[in-house]
Amino acid sequence: VALAIPPPEFGFVDSGNHTELSLAYTHNGNTTVVQEGQLFGAKITSTKPTLALEPAKYQSVADYKGQYLILMVDPDAPTPSNPTRRFFLHWLATSMTQNTTASSPQTGRALINSTPAQVPYRGPAPPSTSSAHRYILYAFAQPENFAIPDAYSGFSNENRSDFNLDNFIKDAGLARPAAGEFYYVSSQQSVPGDFVALAGGEFPGGNGDAVF
């Protein structure tokens, strides 16, 4: 069992202590709470998920009363075997706070904010010619009086490519992620858009080189 999210084998920054960021996607009236390493067709993850953390499960979450910064990245663009556009930025939102009421359908506390995201959520859409991509979401403890570093102010809904995750974490003064989650998505023609498989499963036609 991995002790960090995403797995250390990926070579990316991880949350440590297996602290999970809970994601719930709703598609066609059906809600899916993401399990670590789950695999999806692209329609499932097309709309912004609800986010939650579980103070009762993770002491580090219970002890923290501040705001969170949310990042979602694709490290496999355009293909896992040739990720020349790493990282593609799918979401950058600041000033998320824990709601004191229980979230639904997740347990724990929903993460909410009242300010627009600098980079709005964009659902995964890997090329149909690519094997499944990994998608990683992080919740960072947001420093007080935080502002997006000037070097990253150009990222927006129209500009998402070539985001440098490590440099952003350093330049923004962020510590190790407080929580994380990851999953896979495929848009291959053999994969139905509403496909769901547990971690370790396979999409119709196989997942190529992206399966962990």
Domain residue limits, the chain = 4-197
For residue 138, pLDDT over 90 is answered with yes
Fold of 4-197: Phosphatidylethanolamine-binding Protein (3.90.280)
Instruction: Return the amino acid letter for 67.
Output: Q
Average pLDDT, the chain: 90
For residue 102, pLDDT over 70 is answered with no
36 confidence band (pLDDT: 50, 70, 90)? very high
- Report how far residue 134's alpha carbon sits from residue 72's, in angstroms, rounded to the nearest whole number: 11
Q: State the Cα torsion 151-97-50-187 to the nearest 10°.
A: 20
For residue 201, pLDDT over 80 is answered with no
- Report how far residue 150's alpha carbon sits from residue 126's, in angstroms, rounded to the nearest whole number: 29
Q: Give the residue among 136, 57, 54, 138 at the shortest CA–CA distance from 98.
A: 54
- Report how far residue 53's alpha carbon sits from residue 174's, in angstroms, rounded to the nearest whole number: 19
- Ranking 33-47, 99-113, 165-179 by mean pLDDT, the lowest is 99-113
- Of the two residues 49 and 190, the one the predictor is more confident about is 49
Instruction: Return the amino acid letter for 166.
Output: D
Residue 69's beta-bridge partner residues?
A: 140
Residue 27's beta-bridge partner residues?
A: 30
Backbone φ and ψ for 129, nearest 5 degrees, come out as -90, 0
CB 183 within 8 A of CB 39: yes
Kindly report, residue by residue over 115-125, the tens digit of the pLDDT: 899 999 999 99
CB 91 within 8 A of CB 121: yes
